[in-house]
Chain A
Amino acid sequence: NPYAGLVSGLRAAWLAGKTRPMEYRVAQLEALGRFLDEKKQDILVALASDMRKPSFEVEISEISICRSELHHTLNNLGSWMKDEHVEKNLAIQLDSAFIRKDPYGVVLIIAPWNYPIHLLLVPLIGAIAAGNCVVMKPSEISKNAERLVVETLLSYLDKDCFAVVTAGVEETTKLLENKFDYIFFTGVPSVGRTVMMAAGKHLTPVTLELGGKNPCYVSDDCEVHNVARRVAWGRFFNAGQTCVAPDYILCSAEMREKLLPALREAIAEFYGPNPKESPDFARIVGDKQFQRVRALLGSGRAAIGGQVDEQERYIAPTVLVDVRPEDAVMREEIFGPVLPILTVAGEDEAVAFINARERPLALYVFSSSQKVLQRVLEHTSSGGFCGNDTVMHMTLPVLPFGGIGHSGLGCYHGRFSFDTFSHARAALLRAAGREALNAVRYPPYSARRLPLLRAATETRRAPACTVL
């Protein structure tokens, strides 16, 4: 196996305990911070080359958000690393009971191409914070970002404990044959399955950040201009290549008529009369992806946009109407600047539509009524939920970010990243004394002793009535 040497080298470093001390972890994390500061220009250029990502977008969605996670982690690492003492029962009152956070060892992080710095660095921050050695596998599709990671990012880290593998599909399959102690994968569900199958052979735990079609229900009781802006922003950011972008809209025919002009206005506000000329609108990352998204334009009809330029891999911010649930655009995650609007009679139909499909990574509801928001929230299931906005729920490091069902397994961000890459190890430290108390549990067993054993160890049900 071409990577066996690499992995065993890292495992040796792991067994030597290099990555465990807090000072070491802090040093590596601070080095990442320096990378973000010193190489900002390089990051902007790489991402502009890969998908014409606007520098404003790079600043907030690739650099700033990583810095946020980094600072949050550095500020809290001390307390996260501490042993977590737990509630004890009567029998062990005088003992010490706590949860120790053990690093897993050598972990593998596979990152996708749409936010190639963010989706590599944020898991990396968690893995380093938790004390692991890391093999990074950036996406080969975002070539310039990949090169940046290999040639520049790695030079900031301790090469004994951190490695980068550049690999296509075949080589990644070979990489996955090795034993890792944790695998963190961001990408599509079909590859997620492959990763989990490979992990299963070694009983390696995984976190899978996948995707799906994120529904966006717009209720009739809405001020349409803010809705249009927030939805358009979430949909067309990074030319739609965002796992938490609103994938399609569900609304009444009435609301649709109000939304269309509002969306037109928002798009013009954002990108000017010709988005192709706007420096703030990205391109599709590659030819294959471009062809795939372009084919989806055949569903329904384009009420807004629809123009393409194959040379530039440009697809205009597009809104499709008259789309049927069986159409191509409704059968796969769009991952492009195309927003279908499907009409439903009301909230119940919207909820039924959503529940008939795979559980999405994100679910969006726009309504000025808290009741409507609450109801849809309670009757559906999704990775995360945002009311009256799109995408924003994943920018808070205090909220766990992850999917459910086909949209993913596990979660991260902030403390959840640290927990993801740590094994929560139960520890009970007893003393040699007080052996007489243990006598209750030893043979020869006697039914007489049971009440005492129960009293010492059993939790009692709290009485139902309470005095106010």
Chain B
Amino acid sequence: GPNAYGHELLGVLGELALATAQLPAWAAPRRAKRNLLTLRDEAFVRPEPLGLVLVIGAWNYPFVLVMQPLIGAIAAGGCARRAAGRAARGAAHRAAPAGNAVVVKPSEVSEHTARLLADLLPKYLDPELYPVVTGGVTETTELLTHRFDHILYTGSTAVGKIVMAAAAKHLTPVTLELGGKSPCYIDRDCDLAVACRRITWGKYMNCGQTCIAPDYILCDPAIQAQVVENIKATLREFYGDDVKSSPDYERIINKRHFHRVLALLEGQKVAHGGEADEASCFIAPTILTDVSPDAKVMQEEIFGPILPIVPVKSADEAIELINSREKPLALYVFSNNKKLINRFISETTSGGVTANDVIMHFFLSSLPFGGVGHSGMGAYHGQHSFDTFSHHRSCLIKDLKMEGTNKLRYPPGSHKKVAWAKFFLLKRFQWGRAGLVALVLLGLVAAVLIKVSLA
């Protein structure tokens, strides 16, 4: 429906447009500043394709989490030579690749999208260069024994460790987009109605199965009841009085996760929701109050439509709680107080932050999207995708003649030589102002010469 379009396709179309528009700029060699010893030389960084890339997708946003990395991997490296197609699967890291080849492994849990990708991609892309591999744990484990030049994995922390271990055997760099519990702090000084509407949107979209959904709320006990009321009101606005019959409310992906999520309600105070129906994997939007940090629901990423509220007496307590846990993928703070927001950002760490909203930092492609610690490593989106799938090769091209200054570095050594060598190595030449002055002088000289010649 429209949510799939909004959440999955819109992002992909945007990335495609950006990549095709910016590719020449991204792929161009980047010139570097030189020192006195290397003044006459060319120094630049050349983005080159890595070779063979493996993209492992997740089941919650099965299309975008495969397509966005794929776009980056295809774009990376030189564009003009991509058509040569020398990078066939096995030979990719042996020959100098003309561009990245990409093995796409969609999640088997979202089986319909996996089948769709397996059917459609080969119709639009060369299956020799961009094969789609389907299968479950066994096939993925087998796939991971092969050598790749980069692996991008989206999924759980536990499997992230398995992917990194497999990559380590081949010294393959990885980008791991994992998860965790993304905290959401609501300050007393904020527009509570707006805050709660935005939180409700981010929490319950895709039935809570979003890696950057606000996992739990931290707020002063004094505003807890109001938060609950606001969220309830918003839920009615969004899904009507009977959530189950709203066409805009999703379901849990399968029975296993249905039971996992439901079990988190054990022993908790349900302020709203809690209804479930196994047949359709339906769990109603649920709010828990007065949740203890030691509760079961606070030990793992919820990845479902359950929103615990953990009361904290102050921002200090909130920050301490956040820092005592694994680094989250996203951090959210709602407040009118800019100083407080800055404090939260400065005294914690996380993959990314959105203040006074949720999720939105994901949609700006100029921002790198990734985790830190157990929530991941590396980042992508926009140019960050291009850079992730490229090797930035430093190049220095010198003159074969001009041996003069080189003599400084050759043995036999002497103290005088050391002083000169240090002088040349340490100083760096700024063309800016000097260049401008030189240009002006040149212009003056040219003007005089022209005048003289015409006279």
A interface residue numbers (CB < 8 A to B): 15, 17, 20, 54-57, 59-60, 64-65, 67-68, 71, 86-89, 91-92, 97, 99-100, 102, 104-105, 181, 189, 192-193, 196-197, 199-201, 203, 205, 208, 210, 222-223, 225-227, 229-230, 233, 269-272, 278-281, 351, 355-356, 359, 366-368, 370, 373, 377-389, 392-396, 398-401, 404-406, 408-411, 423-432, 435, 438, 441-447, 449-450, 453-454, 457-462
Contacts and interface: CB of A to CB of B under 8 A. Distances in A.
B397 A457 contact: no
Contacts of A394: 394
Contact of A59 (B167, B169, B197, B418): B418
> Which 5 pairs across A and B sit closest by C-beta, in order of nearness?
A56-B413, A200-B164, A196-B168, A280-B411, A426-B367
B396 A392 contact: yes
B426 A378 contact: no
A371 to B, nearest CB: 12
Interface in B6-45: 6, 10, 13-14, 16-18, 20-21, 32-35, 37-38, 43, 45
A191 to B, nearest CB: 11
Contacts of B373: 181, 203
A373 B397 contact: yes
B165 A197 contact: yes
B336 A396 contact: no
B392 A193 contact: no
Interface stretch (B113-121, B122-130, B225-233, B344-352): B344-352
B219 interface: no
Given A193-B171, A205-B377, A230-B406, A381 B97 contact: yes
Given A17-B347, A201-B161, A410 B173 contact: yes
Given A100-B345, A203-B374, A457-B10, A382 B393 contact: yes
A269 B247 CA distance: 83
Interface string B363-403: 11111111011101111000000000001111111111101
Contacts of A91: 363
A384 B395 contact: yes
A450 B354 contact: no
Interface string B69-85: 00000000000010000
B412 interface: yes
Contacts of B165: 197, 200-201
A410 B150 CA distance: 12
B253 interface: no
A405 B391 CA distance: 10
Given A386-B395, A459-B17, 10 more contacts: A54-B413, A56-B413, A64-B426, A189-B171, A269-B410, A271-B411, A368-B400, A388-B400, A406-B171, A459-B18
Contacts of A92: 360, 364
Nearest to B360: A428
A366 B178 CA distance: 46
Interface string B40-62: 00010110101100000000000
Contact of B14 (A272, A396, A457): A457
B435 interface: no
Contacts of B191: 432
Contacts of A442: 197, 201, 237-238
A368 B397 CA distance: 11
B392 A411 contact: yes
Contacts of A271: 411-412
B32 A64 contact: no
B422 interface: yes
Interface of B: 1-3, 5-6, 10, 13-14, 16-18, 20-21, 32-35, 37-38, 43, 45-46, 48, 50-51, 81, 93-97, 149, 157, 160-161, 164-165, 167-169, 171, 173, 176, 178, 190-191, 194-195, 197-198, 201, 237-240, 246-249, 323, 334, 336, 341, 345-347, 349-357, 360-361, 363-370, 372-374, 376-379, 391-401, 403, 406, 409-414, 417-418, 421-422, 425-426
21 contacts: A17-B347, A56-B418, A64-B422, A100-B345, A102-B372, A199-B168, A200-B167, A203-B374, A210-B171, A380-B96, A388-B400, A395-B37, A399-B395, A404-B50, A409-B173, A425-B350, A443-B201, A443-B238, A443-B246, A444-B239, A459-B18
A453 B392 contact: no
B341 to A, nearest CB: 7
Contacts of B81: 378
Nearest to B239: A443
B14 A446 contact: no
A270 B238 CA distance: 80
Nearest to A398: B32
A54 B195 CA distance: 66
A378 B395 CA distance: 11
Nearest to A85: B366
A89 B421 contact: no
A428 B425 contact: no
A196 B413 CA distance: 40
Contact of B426 (A67, A100, A381): A67
Contacts of B392: 400, 411
A220 to B, nearest CB: 13
Contact of B169 (A64, A193, A278, A453): A193
Contact of B367 (A99, A225, A430): A99
A431 B194 CA distance: 10
B368 A99 contact: yes
Contacts of B355: 427-430
A118 B281 CA distance: 59
